[in-house]
């Protein structure tokens, strides 16, 4: 079972809604957070799916404060706090700790390409030292296709040696199962979240902790069911069943498509808005998507 106050199971990288002037729509955000957590999911706001890097630090603070004010279980929330600029990462991580977040998801600084291992180690170490709070729990964010900055096993090893109580896990969005399995084997107790529901079963079998996948914004309960029952005989079938939704979403601009479906589900048109450089899903693509889901018998 997914436990109160604990970062395990399935976390939804919650979408960020915008008003018609493209500012974050706080009430809609809180409403989606309640909906997702009501389904038993944890939350991972301000990652890639949340358009986290398209938000200013003050906007992320406002949204995170709103989740706390709404009385949600902050121990089940893992905000993204890794920015390009050190003071930004420190400010967000401090706020997350203050609000009782169960952990933070930390991208490496992603502007300078091919950073040295020393430079990456220093990036994480400086944030941890400056936050300077024993309650901080850092999950590294490995997403080489998007950030262009991989998190190597050698780097994890150094961070674990230096900050064993603070650096506690990773979200691996590479899609590379072998990498996840080998981290589960190499670093006992290190919490590995698969960045795609495609790998829930093999990652749990390898000793992983759970899954953080964009599609959880719409299709979370099915993922959670597999996560709860992964040891049972029907697990393979549940994993296969997840492919239906995933395959339909795969060719689409994912964030825009998930927002379009959220607009449909909630009846709130504004959910379709994205911040540039993303663009909203064209109406004809939305209609086709809905038809494909209906044909496959998948409710949103």
Q: How far is the CB of 231 from its own copies (least distance, A)?
A: 37
The residue within the footprint of its own copies, chosen from 2, 6, 39, 54 (CB under 8 A), is 54
Interacting residue with its own copies among 2, 6, 39, 53 (CB under 8 A): 53
Token pair belonging to 57:
């630090």
Binding part of the chain for its own copies, among 25-33, 170-178, 244-252, 274-282 by CB under 8 A, reads: 274-282
Interaction of residue 87 with its own copies, rule CB under 8 A: yes
Stretch that binds its own copies, among 34-42, 122-130, 188-196, 290-298 (CB under 8 A): 122-130
Q: What are phi and psi of 297, to 5 degrees?
A: 70, 30
Helix/strand/coil for 138: strand
- Contact flag: residue 231 with its own copies (CB under 8 A): no
The alpha helices in the chain, defined as continuous H runs, are 26-38, 57-69, 86-98, 117-131, 144-147, 153-162, 177-186, 200-205, 216-228, 235-250, 254-266, 283-295
Q: Is the dihedral of CA 85, 91, 194, 289 positive or negative?
A: negative
Q: Which of 188, 267, 276, 297 binds its own copies (CB under 8 A)?
A: 276
Kindly tell me which of 45 and 220 has the beta carbon lying closer to its own copies: 45
Cβ-defined contacts of 205-209 (< 8 Å, 24+):
205/230, 206/180, 206/181, 208/180, 208/184, 209/7, 209/8, 209/169
- For residue 8, the minimal CB distance to its own copies (Å) is 28
Binding status of residue 252 toward its own copies by CB under 8 A: no
The window from 61-69, 111-119, 151-159, 207-215 that contacts its own copies (CB under 8 A) reads 111-119
Does position 279 interact with its own copies (CB under 8 A)? The reply is yes
Among 20, 277, 295, 297, binds its own copies (CB under 8 A): 277
C-beta atoms surrounding 3 within 10 Å = 11
DSSP secondary structure code for residue 99 in this structure:
T
Cβ contact 58:117 at 8 Å: no
**Residues in binding contact with its own copies, number by CB under 8 A:** 39
In the three-class reduction of DSSP (H, G, I as helix; E, B as strand; rest coil), residue 167 is classed as strand
Residues 150-209 that bind its own copies (CB under 8 A): none
Q: Which of 55, 64, 183, 293 binds its own copies (CB under 8 A)?
A: 55
Of 30, 70, 99, 122, the residue at the interface with its own copies (CB under 8 A) is 122
Structure tokens at 296: 């496959």
Contacts to its own copies by CB under 8 A:
22, 48, 53-59, 84-88, 91, 108-113, 115-116, 118-120, 122-123, 126, 145-149, 275-279
């Amino acid at each position: 079972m997914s436990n109160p106050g604990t970062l395990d199971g399935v976390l939804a990288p919650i979408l960020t809604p915008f008003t018609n002037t493209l500012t974050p729509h706080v009430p809609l955000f809180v409403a989606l957070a309640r909906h997702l957590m009501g389904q038993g999911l944890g939350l991972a706001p301000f990652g890639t799916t949340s358009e986290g890097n398209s938000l200013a630090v003050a906007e992320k603070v406002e949204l995170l404060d709103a989740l706390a004010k709404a009385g949600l279980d902050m121990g089940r929330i893992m905000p993204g706090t890794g920015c390009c600029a050190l003071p930004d990462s420190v400010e967000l991580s401090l706020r997350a700790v203050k609000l009782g977040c169960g952990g933070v998801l930390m991208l490496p600084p992603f502007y300078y390409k091919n950073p040295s291992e020393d430079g990456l180690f220093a990036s994480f170490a400086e944030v941890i030292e400056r936050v300077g709070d024993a309650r901080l729990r850092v999950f590294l964010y490995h997403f080489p296709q998007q950030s262009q900055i991989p998190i190597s096993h050698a780097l994890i090893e150094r961070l674990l040696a230096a900050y064993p109580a603070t650096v506690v896990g990773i979200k691996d969005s590479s899609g590379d199962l072998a990498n996840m399995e080998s981290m589960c084997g190499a670093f006992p107790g290190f919490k590995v979240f698969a960045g795609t529901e495609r790998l829930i079963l093999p990652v749990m079998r390898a000793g992983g902790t759970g899954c953080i996948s964009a599609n959880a914004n719409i299709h979370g309960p099915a993922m959670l069911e597999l996560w709860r029952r992964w040891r049972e005989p029907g697990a393979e079938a549940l994993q296969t069943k997840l492919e239906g939704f995933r395959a339909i979403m795969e060719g689409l601009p994912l964030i825009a498509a998930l927002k379009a479906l959220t607009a449909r589900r909630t009846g709130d048109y504004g959910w379709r808005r994205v911040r540039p450089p993303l663009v909203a899903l064209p109406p004809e693509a939305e209609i086709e998507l809905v038809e494909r889901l209906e044909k496959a018998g998948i409710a949103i």
